[in-house]
A and B are shown apart, each in its own frame.
Chain A
């Protein structure tokens, strides 16, 4: 379990980093917190010519409240995200999901951007980004663009970023009004990738009718999934009239690539996923009604 030889660069600015990515081409890979990449290198599941370590780029870190958005630098560690009061106030799903990411040692090194760019379908942050319509800001020597989360994830460990692009920040829209959030997931052990999970946001009007419902599914496909039909089915419905178990079943009904392995069949994961949606919706709705 020793990696094959690789070159190593540690730029200190975004400009320097994207310059290296442009120059080094396909054999280069961005190293963020290294919590997935380093084990893959050690197991020789990944063999790379060059690593571009972005851990020393200060401008990639930090959390800023902007009008209507919370902007988090891609290099901000999961531990910082999980402990930040602005995050807790503006995007509570991130705060609640963070303790479910691995163990604290992992969260001390793992970064928000690393998790989203790695695009593991069983990870929490990609599903939250998708459910909340986050904007993913990427930079290359060719310029800067923002990719909508709905367009960002395109397969297992795969995104629509170009190889020379660096994810620099994530903009999470901030919900206002009566709203509630919850994340529920089921993992074999604390800290494991989830067998299935769901993050749910619910907004209510003053009559307890659902005005908005966002659902991100974790571990139920090749990429994070968003069951838009299920979301739409509860909008306009009185929140106490929603049958959460029905919503859960609907949320997983159209999934076509649920994984199946030693930890459980696709049918099993579907059942657990439905339960997680149901439980997360119930918790989010309860919170929203208190708001």
Chain B
């Protein structure tokens, strides 16, 4: 069979303007709250004000009697409707943690949904919520996750322990002989605070149940409309094809909306009982109370080095706080921290121990690089080690990083790193900074009483999971009768430019002018199943799906053109939305002319060819993971009087393979870096010792803004992956690499004071507390 190759990429690799920008930047996006349906009512939750308490009684009579109130639901009204409540990626047989829609008998964190109030407006719903009287009998909460395993109080009595799971590789003592005989052993306990994805748009959905047909339409802020549909079908026991889930624009997610949580379950259960559409849009306070926490964890990171600073062994023993209701089951994601702890370095001896625990705080959810503690712990430890051994931190890394000649490299846990370039990104980033010049500048500044620092981090991360739920992706490309083209993929864009990406790829694959291509995404009624946005998978997977589908269509187009132009199929070229004959570019036929024949004059098609111009195909990933590496370098100045940190330069050199669109790549990196800077310096989802959250508005939960973040500088190394187009995932890395780079820069700035930084965030008060312990709070904490 003759295959027509795509012409040279015209759009892939170029900085095509995002097709999403015109609507998003002019305030014309369509988020859940922008959708208005006739007769729609509005929901609000009554949430627990206590970290742990028995629900003695609920009196909703006054709330129900308030004019405008439509319904008031408690656990007794909704929870019995649950048929099944498992997420597709975890599987029906997978281990699970509890997930009651409304709290039943006991509340387990401040923010736990107890009652669902539905009214004619959100204002009235909130008025009614204040009228619900709940009698609580307080119980002693488990707040400090570091004590949870030994606590006598249990978050979930039925579980019998606050330990969700322990998982490890080899025993931690496996390499004791290596540590015992090493020239240098460096071990530190490193703490990361809880922080959260904080999407601009909170969670939200509209559930529209048709009483006449029984069909359910859900408008959802999600990363994965098909998962919302599958989950809802199982939850309610409805046939999947009677449910349609539509996502329009989703205003950020970063993992928080990757799976259905309890609040959304309540709306799905309540919707069919109401007879009218019901909307719930999470407000900021709810988002910070109840949408999920990430990152809160600590671990003992330990490395053995020889005399030259060459790593002999590496271990990490860590504990993650999973709150009361984690989503998804957290034990496996915790293991990823252990597996990636050795990083992009030559480490042949490594092991880990991971523990996940329940506490009476908001549940742990996925967040951009959920395993990023491996990089934080490793890279912070490497800088501490460099100072102790007396070697420059860049040089210590250089002696241990994987070099070209080491690759392919088998990690201690059996993963094979190929197509990565740790030494190349490292040297590129250092050269962008001019590392040696910075060290000179730093010395001069110190002499003048100013404290500058530089921090480096390297990492390797898995992207594009190629198994199970995530392992395939579909596309339908439809040349409409006018010759204009629509490409249908599920997408799941939460701001990550999948529309632009798919349009670029389709235009290249079919030789189309980019303005002739549009895309349809996010609606289960008109897209085939796909897992949506997760695991930095969209670039590679949609490239696979579009590429495979376009190949089918390209062959059909070539056959039609060859037939109509009386040329050989092998001589047909597709370019500029036309088919031409190789060597005779004046002889050609437009896409519009071919579409007209395909739809309206099928008798002119090659004999036996079916009418129409449309193809669908489903791509199957070939690799379990596509590995990506990067180096982050950050410089800063610290004021030792106030603890103020000013970031001066921020450099990222990454290898995400060939770039489909450098603007999109850099946008993804920037977003992640800013979140990582937030985690290192500003953000903390904090609780007091009684389990009361103390950061429930943006006055207290501090996000970095444009005034705190320096210009981010990008370097690119493009080593093709084995996947479609050689592309790799780039969605998560920024958030992985940034925290350790910032921490190391601050620690380097303060190195003349001999302090060791092991606890985040680096608030000014915490830094001053390290320099002057007398400024710490009375309880001795460094807050």
Question: In the complex the two chains form, is B705's CB within 8 Å of A189's CB?
Answer: yes
Question: In the complex the two chains form, is A272's CB within 8 Å of B642's CB?
Answer: yes
Chain B min CB distance to A1 (Å): 4
Q: Which of the 9-residue segments B300-308, B517-525, B768-776 touches chain A?
A: B768-776
- Tell me if A168 is interfacial: C-beta within 8 Å of chain B: no
- Tell me if B283 is interfacial: C-beta within 8 Å of chain A: yes
**B residues 697-748 with Cβ under 8 Å of A?**
697, 699-700, 702, 704-705, 707-708
- Whole-angstrom CA separation of A3 from B121 in the bound complex: 12
- Whole-angstrom CA separation of A236 from B763 in the bound complex: 40
From B126, B642, B769, B774, give the contact of A186 (CB < 8 A): B642
| Interface bits A266-279 vs B (CB < 8 Å: 1, else 0) | 01100110010000
Nearest CB to that of B777 among chain A residues? Answer: A265
Chain B min CB distance to A48 (Å): 14
| Interface bits A129-154 vs B (CB < 8 Å: 1, else 0) | 00000000000000000000000000
Question: In the complex the two chains form, is B777's CB within 8 Å of A271's CB?
Answer: no
Question: In the complex the two chains form, is B783's CB within 8 Å of A262's CB?
Answer: yes
Question: In the complex the two chains form, is B783's CB within 8 Å of A43's CB?
Answer: no
How many residues does chain A have at the interface if contact means C-beta atoms less than 8 Å apart?
27
- Tell me if B120 is interfacial: C-beta within 8 Å of chain A: no
Question: In the complex the two chains form, is A192's CB within 8 Å of B702's CB?
Answer: yes
Question: In the complex the two chains form, is B707's CB within 8 Å of A189's CB?
Answer: yes
From B285, B695, B778, give the contact of A43 (CB < 8 A): B285
**B residues 95-150 with Cβ under 8 Å of A?**
122-123, 126-127, 130
Q: Which of B130, B775, B778 has the most CB of A within 10 A?
A: B775
Question: In the complex the two chains form, is B764's CB within 8 Å of A262's CB?
Answer: no
- Tell me if A2 is interfacial: C-beta within 8 Å of chain B: yes
- Whole-angstrom CA separation of A39 from B283 in the bound complex: 13
Question: In the complex the two chains form, is A268's CB within 8 Å of B682's CB?
Answer: no
Interface size range on B against A: 35 or more
- Whole-angstrom CA separation of A97 from B764 in the bound complex: 22
Q: Which residues of B contact A28 (CB under 8 A)?
A: none
From A1, A191, A264, give the contact of B765 (CB < 8 A): A264
Q: Which residues of B contact A1 (CB under 8 A)?
A: 283-285
Question: In the complex the two chains form, is A268's CB within 8 Å of B765's CB?
Answer: yes
Question: In the complex the two chains form, is A188's CB within 8 Å of B682's CB?
Answer: yes
Question: In the complex the two chains form, is B702's CB within 8 Å of A268's CB?
Answer: no
- Whole-angstrom CA separation of A275 from B768 in the bound complex: 13
**B residues 636-669 with Cβ under 8 Å of A?**
641-644
**A residues 257-291 with Cβ under 8 Å of B?**
260-265, 267-268, 271-272, 275
- Whole-angstrom CA separation of A272 from B642 in the bound complex: 6
- Tell me if B374 is interfacial: C-beta within 8 Å of chain A: no
Question: In the complex the two chains form, is A271's CB within 8 Å of B768's CB?
Answer: yes
Question: In the complex the two chains form, is B702's CB within 8 Å of A264's CB?
Answer: no
| Interface bits A90-122 vs B (CB < 8 Å: 1, else 0) | 000000000000000000000000000000000
Question: In the complex the two chains form, is B700's CB within 8 Å of A262's CB?
Answer: yes
Chain A min CB distance to B584 (Å): 61
Q: Which residues of A contact B526 (CB under 8 A)?
A: none
Question: In the complex the two chains form, is B707's CB within 8 Å of A271's CB?
Answer: no
- Tell me if B41 is interfacial: C-beta within 8 Å of chain A: no
| Interface bits A167-193 vs B (CB < 8 Å: 1, else 0) | 000000000000000000010111111
Nearest CB to that of B774 among chain A residues? Answer: A267
Question: In the complex the two chains form, is B763's CB within 8 Å of A263's CB?
Answer: yes
Question: In the complex the two chains form, is A2's CB within 8 Å of B123's CB?
Answer: yes
Q: Which residues of A contact B407 (CB under 8 A)?
A: none
Q: Which residues of B contact A260 (CB under 8 A)?
A: 777
From B127, B763, B775, give the contact of A267 (CB < 8 A): B775
Question: In the complex the two chains form, is A188's CB within 8 Å of B702's CB?
Answer: yes
Q: Which residues of A contact B24 (CB under 8 A)?
A: none
Question: In the complex the two chains form, is B641's CB within 8 Å of A2's CB?
Answer: no
Given A4-B127, A275-B642, check contact A262 B694 (CB 8 Å).
Answer: yes
Q: Which of B695, B700, B763 has the most CB of A within 10 A?
A: B763
Question: In the complex the two chains form, is B763's CB within 8 Å of A188's CB?
Answer: yes
- Tell me if B321 is interfacial: C-beta within 8 Å of chain A: no
| Interface bits B409-448 vs A (CB < 8 Å: 1, else 0) | 0000000000000000000000000000000000000000
- Whole-angstrom CA separation of A192 from B699 in the bound complex: 8
- Tell me if B686 is interfacial: C-beta within 8 Å of chain A: yes
Q: Which residues of A contact B643 (CB under 8 A)?
A: 268
- Tell me if B684 is interfacial: C-beta within 8 Å of chain A: yes
- Whole-angstrom CA separation of A43 from B769 in the bound complex: 33
- Whole-angstrom CA separation of A267 from B774 in the bound complex: 7
Given A1-B283, A5-B127, check contact A186 B644 (CB 8 Å).
Answer: yes
**B residues 601-643 with Cβ under 8 Å of A?**
641-643
Nearest CB to that of B705 among chain A residues? Answer: A189
Nearest CB to that of B283 among chain A residues? Answer: A1
**A residues 16-43 with Cβ under 8 Å of B?**
39, 43
Nearest CB to that of A278 among chain B residues? Answer: B641
Q: List 11 A-B contacts (CB under 8 A).
A: A1-B283, A1-B284, A3-B123, A188-B702, A189-B705, A190-B705, A261-B694, A263-B763, A265-B775, A265-B783, A271-B768
**B interface residue numbers (CB < 8 A to A):** 122-123, 126-127, 130, 283-285, 641-644, 682, 684, 686, 694-695, 697, 699-700, 702, 704-705, 707-708, 763-765, 768-769, 772, 774-778, 783
Q: Please provide the 9 A-B residue pairs with the shortest distance between their CB atoms, ordered closest to farther.
A: A264-B765, A190-B707, A1-B283, A265-B777, A268-B775, A267-B775, A2-B123, A268-B765, A275-B641
**A interface residue numbers (CB < 8 A to B):** 1-5, 39, 43-44, 186, 188-193, 195, 260-265, 267-268, 271-272, 275
Known: A1-B284, A190-B708, A265-B783. 10 other contacts (CB 8 A): A4-B126, A4-B130, A188-B702, A188-B763, A261-B694, A262-B695, A262-B783, A268-B765, A271-B641, A271-B642
